């Protein structure tokens, strides 16, 4: 089992506010890891740290055998880390196809045929029929799919998904889960932050719970979800009270 991503004692503070506290975990290659936790727990901060948008205050991050703690986001992407944003950030002035073309041209080592790579991803994610539409004119579901498609077009080894199922209908969510499963089956490792727990549980083979910037539980999804303290933190109620 090769370790793809390794976080060791990662801390991040904004003044007195500590948004990541001693975060330590390994991600084996090919694993799909779910991350849950209340709003403001530091989940998106975790992605900013892994993706390189934020430098940690202390601690180490290694990816694919290299220390990337101080590596900027663009270089991490070229090393194989891709992310989708919680609030979609499409390149609104460009077509869907061009959005992917940026990613396939500049992502991991750059595809030799960026056009073909972009077209191929559009087929996988079901956006081909929207290829030449302006990204600004897409519906919410399409924007979420664009986030996923653009991240995939970089050719990642690790895919970071930030609440990609939020705001979707049951059917849309189901389709998205199927797509993400397909991606995982090609060997891409995934870390997925999600509030829609049943969507998450359908995909991940490990679950981390974060609260106040700390990892409070880590393990098999069903076991983690069954822990009373997780229920308490996550549901915001004490299990005894609920019973």
Partner 1 sequence: MANRILQALLALTILALALAPLWAGRADLRLLMEVLAYLALAQMWNLLAGYTGLISVGQQAWVGLGGYLFFALTILGGVPVFAAFPLAALLTAVLAVPTGWVAFRLQGAYFAIGTWVIAEVYRLVAAQVGALGGGSGISLPVAVAKSIAETRMGREYVMYYIAFALAVIAVAGVWLILRSRWGLALTAIRDSEVAAESVGVNTMRSKFLIYVITAGLTGLTGAFLFFQKLRITPDAAFSVNDWTAFVIFIVVIGGIGTIEGPIIGTILFFALREVAADWGTWYLMGLGALAIAVMLIDKRGLWGAIHARWGLSILPVSRNLPD
Which residues would be at the binding site for partner 1 (CB under 8 A)?
51, 53, 72-75, 77-78, 82-83, 85, 89-95, 97-98, 101-103, 105-108, 110, 115, 118-119, 122, 128, 131-132, 150-151, 153-154
Residue 122: CB minimum distance to partner 1, A: 7
Residue 42: CB minimum distance to partner 1, A: 19
**With respect to partner 1, which residue has the nearer C-beta, 21 or 105?**
105
**With respect to partner 1, which residue has the nearer C-beta, 91 or 234?**
91
**With respect to partner 1, which residue has the nearer C-beta, 117 or 168?**
117
Closest CA to 208 of 51, 20, 58, 64: 20
**With respect to partner 1, which residue has the nearer C-beta, 56 or 90?**
90
Rounded alpha-carbon distances, angstroms, from residue 162 to 85, 109, 110: 6, 24, 24
Closest CA to 202 of 222, 226, 228: 222
> 164-188 as b/e, with b when 16 or more CB fall inside 10 Å?
bbbebeeebbeebbebbeebbeeeb
Residue 158: CB minimum distance to partner 1, A: 13
Provide the Cα torsion 113, 78, 85, 197; round to 10°. 100
Residue 1: CB minimum distance to partner 1, A: 28
């Amino acid at each position: 089992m090769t370790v793809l991503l390794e976080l060791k004692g990662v801390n991040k503070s904004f003044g007195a506010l500590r948004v990541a506290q001693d975060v330590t975990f390994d991600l084996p290659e090919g694993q799909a890891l779910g991350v849950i936790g209340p709003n403001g727990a530091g989940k998106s901060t975790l992605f900013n740290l892994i993706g390189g948008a934020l430098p940690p205050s202390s601690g180490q991050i290694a990816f694919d055998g290299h220390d990337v703690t101080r590596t900027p986001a663009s270089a991490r992407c070229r090393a194989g880390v891709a992310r989708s944003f919680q609030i979609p950030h499409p390149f609104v002035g460009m077509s869907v196809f061009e959005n992917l073309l940026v990613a396939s041209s500049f992502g991991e080592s750059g595809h030799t045929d960026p056009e073909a790579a972009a077209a191929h991803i559009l087929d996988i994610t079901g956006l081909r029929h929207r290829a030449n539409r302006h990204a600004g004119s897409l519906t919410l579901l399409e924007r979420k799919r664009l986030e996923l498609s653009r991240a995939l077009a970089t050719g990642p080894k690790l895919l970071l998904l930030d609440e990609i199922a939020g705001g979707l209908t049951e059917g849309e969510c189901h389709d998205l889960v199927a797509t993400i499963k397909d991606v995982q089956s090609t060997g891409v490792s995934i870390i997925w932050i999600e509030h829609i727990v049943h969507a998450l549980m359908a995909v991940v083979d490990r679950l981390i719970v974060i609260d106040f910037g700390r990892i409070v539980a880590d393990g098999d999804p069903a076991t983690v979800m069954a822990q009373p303290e997780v229920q308490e933190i996550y549901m915001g109620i004490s299990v005894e009270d609920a019973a």
